[in-house]
Structure 1
Amino acid sequence: MKTLFLVFYGFQEYNGISKKIRYQADALRLCGADIRTCHYEVGNDGSRKWMIDEDVLADLGKGIPAKIKKRLSFAPILQYVRREGIQCVYIRSYHNANPFTIHFVRMLKKQGVRVLLEIPTYPYDHEYSSGMEKVQLYTDKLFRHAFCRYVDFIVTFSSDDRIFGRPTIRISNGIDFARIPLHSPRHGTSKELHLIGVAEIHFWHGFDRLLKGLGAYYGNNPEYKVYFHLIGKPSGRREEKNIATLIRRYCLQPFVILYGAKHGEELDALFNRADFAIGSLARHRSGIYNIKTLKNREYAARGFGFVYSETDDDFDRMPYTLKVPADESPVSIPALIEFFQHMTVTPREIRDSIRHLSWEEQMKKVYEQIVRIKK
């Protein structure tokens, strides 16, 4: 089945979301779909283009006119769908429901195209904080039910049966095991413990809870040292300032190392220096208590135990996961150390425990629904 995977933004090699989309597309291909990926790209010269894989579908030009075209006109994509005989369009939600995107999906349905909408995080109304983001969210809230009238299924990582009035396909975030190496610890843990957190840092990651816990721990002058390796770019000034302030307040400079964004072999090397991973500690701040995050699965695929606060049915009873309350309390570092020291499961056993969460297995659920949809 000819399928177009539509993304309203570009790809970045270090970005976990970009990698996830490529994994999903590859998995659909393995399931039998003739998959093409359509994405939006901004060139080094400021030119803006719609791309189909590595080929230019439409050059929108530069400057304000190009930005307007991107938001208002989807004619090049509709023409491509008609010309290539695309049978299904799989849209990754950008929370951009408006009269123009509604027209776009309505035209797809007129062409007899199956339409699926993936909503990566649901609910998402509390994830926005800046003024511009709130304007976009307000517009989306006005039009998203009308948009979804032209959607056959919503793909969700939540436990919801219906979203915005449409039936869901419930899956877990998956793993491409071939691209994620098993970590090889490089040092003993009798005198020190190395924690690692990898994310584009948002307020809902709750790393401040860990930093406050480290502050309390080092306030007692412990002999056993705990280090936190934080990898990723802050999503905004608020997150950057919050982390820097806590590091200074608790004099954590020797124990908290900030790396910025890393990927590939550099990232693998940093994982090999670590012993235990830090998942999301504050999803409750965005009103989310039940979610199946990609990061938890990537940690497990690398063979790491990890700590997190949300409900995740795939991991809540695993012997290598530590749950902390979904609140604002600091993470107890002594409790984390004790959990790690009593953990007997090996990295290989952790990885093998999630073999059923491969992207191929997860996207197979999606593909099976696609082929059942009647035009």
Structure 2
Amino acid sequence: MKNVLYFSYSDDLSDKFSGVSKKIYAQTKAIEQLNCNVLLAGNIGGLYGIVGDTERVNLRAQSLLTKKKIMFNFLIKKIKQRNIDVVYIRMIGASPRFISFLRLVKSLNVKIIMEIPTYPYDQEAKSFKGKVYNFLDRIYRKQYKGLIDYIVTFSDDDFIYDVKCINISNAVSEDSIQKNIPVKNTGILKFISVSSLYYWHGVDRFVDSIEHHINHDNNNFPFKFYIVGPNNEEMRKIRKKLEVNNKLNQFVEYLGFKNSQELNEIYKDTHIGVGSLGRHRSNIFKINTLKNKEYCANGLPIIYSENDRDLDGKSFVYKVPADESNIDINSICEWYINRCWNDSDITDFIINYTWFSQMKKVFKTISGGGL
């Protein structure tokens, strides 16, 4: 039985609204089902520690360098205390301190796996601080070869930074797959976008397309677009547009943050999931997203603009161009009304993409083909 340390740096594991935290817990549960002992370490409400343990280190009010020094020292102590065999890292940007940490872990004869959630990611940084971190990452990630055993990626790459890749898909926990999708009233078609509302999600593009639609097209199908996510800069821009356009405001509604239970209830009355519509803005054209799989787990057909090897070509997927063109709302509504799939087609598809099946690929690879 392997002892595994899974750790994240910035994701708040106590945040019940976070899709990333939900994914991390689902992954660690899947690893446990593979007959491994798993320690999950991360930020827990501002304190860093192991989930389920009482020992914590305080990272509040510390500089970034000091935070990482404290965190890495804490993790090394736990690796030694718990006889860890495998360290699974949710990506951290490369830096001198991170490279030193990797070297020390390797000296303890521990296998190192790092998951890169989005690749390539260089174009995602927009702030000055983000660009500085990205500059450091570009310099020091060249040293990953020989330190990191495998990079887990959702892309099609065989090697990233000269490190062998394990290619998996984003997935869902089996217990999140809805077995009985309720019959939905189609008097008003309801679209939903659930995201962290970054610019590459392209929620603004869908809102702009709705505005173009109500100004220039016949509104053949009554519809409403619901937005779930943080009230950040991107959302504030959208809300400002809604405030000055009463007509548009009738078609778009911001719901704020919702937890998993609340989302499940909303999904029961929703018809179409809106995936990323702006990944081209960060120069990404191939990606395998978590949110599309979560929509599928709730029986929702999806619209998106990227290339997704798991979903492209499915009858319940509507692809839009990966550019800034207006999206044809009438065409999407007509596609749904005249749909050629059943809800069970979507949930039958997603059962092949559980975290257990995906993490099994990872641990089978690092074990040389056996578990």
Q: TM-score normalised by the shorter chain: which range applies?
A: over 0.9
Which secondary structure state, in structure 2, belongs to the residue aligned with residue 216 of structure 1?
helix
Aligned match for 1:122, one of 108, 113, 119: 119
Q: Amino acid of the residue matched to residue 161 of structure 1?
A: D
- Identity score, percent: 32
Aligned match for 2:237, one of 242, 256, 268: 242
Q: Amino acid of the residue matched to residue 244 of structure 1?
A: R
Q: Amino acid of the residue matched to residue 16 of structure 1?
A: G
Counting only pairs closer than 5 Å after superposition, residues 227-266 of structure 1 correspond to structure 2 as 227-234=224-231, 236-237=232-233, 239-247=234-242, 248-249=244-245, 251-266=247-262
CA contact (8 A) 1:185 1:274 kept: no
Q: Amino acid of the residue matched to residue 311 of structure 1?
A: N
Aligned match for 1:358, one of 354, 361, 369: 354
Aligned to 2:86: 88
Cα distance in 2 for residues equivalent to 1:193 and 1:62: 45
Cα 1:5–1:311 change in 2 (3 A) is same
Aligned to 1:17: 20
1:312 Cα offset (Å): 0.5
1:250 Cα offset (Å): 7.3
Which secondary structure state, in structure 2, belongs to the residue aligned with residue 230 of structure 1?
strand
1:204 Cα offset (Å): 0.6
Cα distance in 2 for residues equivalent to 1:56 and 1:288: 41
Answer yes or no: is 1:299 the counterpart of 2:302.
Answer: no
Name stretches of at least 5 consecutive residues in structure 2 with no aligned partner.
none
Which deviates more, 163-172 or 362-371? 362-371
Q: Amino acid of the residue matched to residue 133 of structure 1?
A: G
Q: Amino acid of the residue matched to residue 127 of structure 1?
A: E
Cα distance in 2 for residues equivalent to 1:167 and 1:241: 41
Answer yes or no: is 1:104 the counterpart of 2:101.
Answer: yes
Which secondary structure state, in structure 1, belongs to the residue aligned with residue 277 of structure 2?
coil
Which secondary structure state, in structure 2, belongs to the residue aligned with residue 337 of structure 1?
helix
Aligned to 2:61: 63
1:56 Cα offset (Å): 3.8
TM-score by length of 2: 0.93
Aligned to 2:36: 33
Cα distance in 2 for residues equivalent to 1:276 and 1:268: 14
Size of the aligned set, in residue pairs, is 363
Cα 1:322–1:42 change in 2 (3 A) is same
Q: Amino acid of the residue matched to residue 297 of structure 2?
A: A
Q: Amino acid of the residue matched to residue 232 of structure 1?
A: G
Counting only pairs closer than 5 Å after superposition, residues 1-375 of structure 1 correspond to structure 2 as 1-9=2-10, 10-11=12-13, 12-43=15-46, 49-60=47-58, 62-64=60-62, 68-73=65-70, 74-94=72-92, 96-182=93-179, 184-185=181-182, 187-189=184-186, 191-219=187-215, 220=217, 222=219, 224-234=221-231, 236-237=232-233, 239-247=234-242, 248-249=244-245, 251-372=247-368
Cα 1:243–1:183 change in 2 (3 A) is farther
Q: RMSD between aligned alpha carbons?
A: 1.9
Name stretches of at least 5 consecutive residues in structure 1 with no aligned partner.
44-48
Which secondary structure state, in structure 2, belongs to the residue aligned with residue 37 of structure 1?
strand
1:277 Cα offset (Å): 1.1
Cα 1:365–1:223 change in 2 (3 A) is closer
Which secondary structure state, in structure 2, belongs to the residue aligned with residue 298 of structure 1?
helix
User: Would you identify which runs of 4 or more consecutive aligned residues in structure 1 move more than 6 Å?
Assistant: none
Q: Amino acid of the residue matched to residue 60 of structure 1?
A: N
Q: Amino acid of the residue matched to residue 40 of structure 2?
A: T
Which secondary structure state, in structure 2, belongs to the residue aligned with residue 7 of structure 1?
strand
Which secondary structure state, in structure 2, belongs to the residue aligned with residue 64 of structure 1?
coil
Which deviates more, 27-36 or 51-60? 51-60
Cα distance in 2 for residues equivalent to 1:340 and 1:62: 49
1:344 Cα offset (Å): 2.9
1:210 Cα offset (Å): 1.2
1:276 Cα offset (Å): 1.0
Cα 1:38–1:61 change in 2 (3 A) is closer
Cα distance in 2 for residues equivalent to 1:208 and 1:250: 17
Q: Amino acid of the residue matched to residue 37 of structure 1?
A: L
Cα distance in 2 for residues equivalent to 1:62 and 1:279: 34
Cα distance in 1 for residues equivalent to 2:202 and 2:246: 17
Which deviates more, 109-118 or 346-355? 346-355
Cα distance in 1 for residues equivalent to 2:218 and 2:182: 26
TM-score by length of 1: 0.92
Which secondary structure state, in structure 1, belongs to the residue aligned with residue 265 of structure 2?
helix
Cα distance in 1 for residues equivalent to 2:122 and 2:312: 25
